[in-house]
């Protein structure tokens, strides 16, 4: 066994490559004083997922096959990386590919929407009666900011809390937001700050008395939710994209996806560990080419804006960005000019924190019907994400004395993609 995987550790251990770097930076920070320490604080890692729901076609995005029997009508265009080509439907994204990389050898061997989404966001196959935490819950727990009252696991768009943290507990479940402050997060106008503080002080005393006699995981979660809600009220404006400039609203576009990307930027700027944005609908069994022409045009400009802003703000090097879907689409074009579900040979795009820029991992054959080089699946991807975030993906959470692996121990990361 590779020595790098031999040591089991806690969830908060940092992968050795990140740990050695952190030691060196930390020592320099102590010598240099508060200004460099503040800079180090900004390098805490976070993750942004853009989920293209329905199954985006790899042939119309990351792995075009023009002038083949499966290629369809669109051309491949050069990118900022010499020799790397992507679909002409992504001209703005093509200019950023020197910051991004492609994984073209994915085979999840699955064509079911629900199972595919589970594979890609939980890193495992869905099994009856088995609950695992969502990638966002794993990130929220592992990258937790004790000084940040905002939820650590955010989905855009959405409303309310999800039920996707499994044994990690409701604290790390997803919170859905829509670019506005959460409902009921503003202090009532007839309630003074002094009275509100007295109410909360009384609540805490009552909770402490109760917990001293009947403390359980449920009562801890109940207490924590109140404390988080109070802190969130103080930072409710973090969710409000109406505070962004008119220029930024125009840059991102007035359509929902553009505004959702602007919301995501705001969440990342407020140091939320995991943000997921959904764009739908790519389930193109009919008129695949017309739908992708429209959908990817809507995706391309806001995504490009988001990458530009993260880079300009010095955040891209600490933000892992992944554009994923539940599967790809069939190389074969059906009788309705559509492409069907396809999990045997498809692609994702990723970049930022911990990822080698400008790389292409894996390859499919001439017409995209099978993987011919460096085949990987969702298990490898999940390990890769965690490793890129500076975590030891082979480590475990200790839940009530029981070790729960962060990722499926049968797999490991795509090492050649990691910095």
Extents of the domains making up the chain? 8-180+243-417, 182-239
CA torsion angle 224 228 230 235 (round to 10)? 170
Model pLDDT, residue 184:
60
In whole angstroms, give the CA distance from residue 54 to residue 114.
Answer: 10
pLDDT single digits (tens) 333-356: 999 999 999 999 999 999 999 999
Output b/e per residue, 141-154; b: 16+ Cβ within 10 A: bbbebeebbbbbbb
The structure's pTM equals: 0.84
Output b/e per residue, 56-67; b: 16+ Cβ within 10 A: bbbbbbbbbbee
pLDDT single digits (tens) 368-398: 999 999 999 999 999 999 999 999 999 999 9
In whole angstroms, give the CA distance from residue 90 to residue 302.
Answer: 11
Residues 6 or more apart in contact with residue 417 via CB below 8 angstroms: 101, 103, 355, 356, 359, 361, 384, 388
Model pLDDT, residue 185:
60
pLDDT single digits (tens) 168-221: 998 899 999 999 876 666 656 677 878 777 877 787 788 787 777 777 766 666
The architecture that CATH gives domain 8-180+243-417 is 3-Layer(aba) Sandwich (3.40)
Model pLDDT, residue 181:
77
Model pLDDT, residue 147:
84
pLDDT single digits (tens) 111-160: 999 999 999 999 999 999 999 999 999 999 999 988 888 999 999 998 78
Torsion 342-344-350-354 (CA) sign:
positive
What is the three-class DSSP state of 39?
helix
Please give the helix or strand (H or E) that residue 76 lies within, else none.
Answer: strand 76-78
What is the arithmetic mean of pLDDT over 231-241?
A: 78
Strand pairing of 274-280 and 153-156?
parallel
Model pLDDT, residue 43:
67
In whole angstroms, give the CA distance from residue 286 to residue 166.
Answer: 37
353: phi then psi, degrees, rounded to nearest 5: -50, 125
> How many residues are there in the chain?
419
């Amino acid at each position: 066994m590779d020595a790098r995987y031999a040591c089991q550790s806690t969830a908060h251990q940092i992968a050795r490559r990140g740990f050695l770097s952190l030691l060196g930076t930390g020592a320099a920070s102590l010598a240099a004083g508060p200004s460099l320490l503040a800079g180090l604080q900004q390098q805490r890692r976070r993750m942004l997922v853009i989920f293209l729901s329905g199954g985006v076609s790899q042939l119309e995005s990351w792995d075009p096959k023009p002038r083949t029997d499966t290629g369809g009508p669109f051309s491949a265009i050069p990118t900022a990386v010499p020799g790397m080509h992507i679909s002409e439907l992504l001209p703005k994204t093509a200019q950023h590919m020197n910051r991004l990389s492609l994984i073209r050898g994915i085979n999840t061997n699955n064509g079911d929407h629900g199972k595919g989404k589970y594979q890609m966001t939980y890193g495992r196959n869905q099994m009856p009666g088995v609950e695992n935490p969502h990638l966002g819950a794993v990130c929220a727990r592992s990258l937790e900011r004790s000084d940040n009252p905002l939820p650590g696991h955010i989905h855009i768009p959405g409303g309310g809390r999800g039920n996707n943290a499994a044994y990690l507990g409701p604290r790390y479940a997803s919170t859905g937001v829509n670019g506005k402050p959460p409902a009921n997060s503003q202090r009532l106008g007839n309630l003074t700050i002094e009275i509100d503080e007295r109410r909360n002080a009384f609540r805490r005393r009552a909770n402490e008395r109760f917990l001293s006699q009947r403390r359980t995981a449920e009562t801890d979660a109940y207490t924590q939710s109140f404390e988080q809600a109070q802190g969130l009220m103080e930072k409710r404006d973090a969710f409000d994209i109406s505070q962004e400039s008119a220029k930024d609203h125009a840059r991102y576009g007035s359509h929902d996806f553009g505004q959702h990307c602007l919301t995501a930027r705001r969440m990342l700027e407020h140091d939320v560990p995991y943000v997921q944005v959904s764009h739908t609908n790519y389930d193109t069994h009919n008129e695949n080419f017309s739908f992708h022409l429209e959908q990817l045009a809507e995706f391309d400009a806001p995504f490009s804006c988001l990458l530009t802003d993260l880079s300009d703000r010095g955040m891209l090097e600490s933000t892992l960005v992944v554009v994923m879907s539940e599967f790809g689409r069939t190389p074969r074009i059906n009788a309705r000019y559509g492409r069907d579900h396809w999990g045997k040979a498809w692609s994702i795009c990723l970049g930022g924190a911990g990822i080698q820029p400008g790389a292409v991992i894996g390859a499919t054959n001439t017409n995209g019907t099978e993987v011919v080089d460096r085949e990987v699946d969702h298990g490898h991807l999940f390990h890769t994400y965690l490793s890129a975030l500076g975590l030891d993906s082979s480590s475990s959470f200790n839940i009530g004395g029981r070790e729960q692996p962060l990722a499926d121990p049968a797999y490991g990361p795509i090492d050649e993609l990691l910095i």
